[in-house]
Amino acid sequence: MPTANEYTKLLLETNKAVQAMHILLDYVDCVNAQRQGLDPKAHEAVERIKELAENTGKEIQNLRFYINDALNKIEIDPDDLKAGANNLILYHNTLDDAIEYTNQQIRGYEENSYWWRYWTGILNELLEKKHEG
């Protein structure tokens, strides 16, 4: 079973694929802007490319949904949360800085998604340390 990090890397690659589809559609626009001097068959080729790119883009979006769905089903190991909280404390100047950073991370994710749950768990660990301390 893939890990959360592997799914996240796959989502980053998915974003690259989406960008590639946009580049391809930009290419279609460039060719269409110059089509007056081109053979009519060039326009047909460009329209086929556009259709393929749009369909491919839709399929990439479908894949993104399934990857996110699989990622969001992964349970978070409490030991990973403790280790993550400890690493943040080492990385940041103060516990309060680590808490602020964690709050910023939480805001970047959809509620109940894997990474939202992860950062919320880290925050709980940090708040517990602050309460103890």
Contacts of the segment 101-104: beta carbons below 8 A, 24+ positions apart: 102/126
CA distance 32 to 41: 12
Looking at residue 93, its pLDDT comes to 86
CA distance 103 to 113: 15
Confidence of residue 35 (pLDDT cuts 50, 70, 90): confident
Confidence of residue 100 (pLDDT cuts 50, 70, 90): very high
Give me the percent of the chain exceeding a pLDDT of 70: 100
CA distance 88 to 133: 16
What value does the mean pLDDT of the chain take?
95
pLDDT at 40 over 80: yes
User: What pTM was estimated for this model as a whole?
Assistant: 0.81
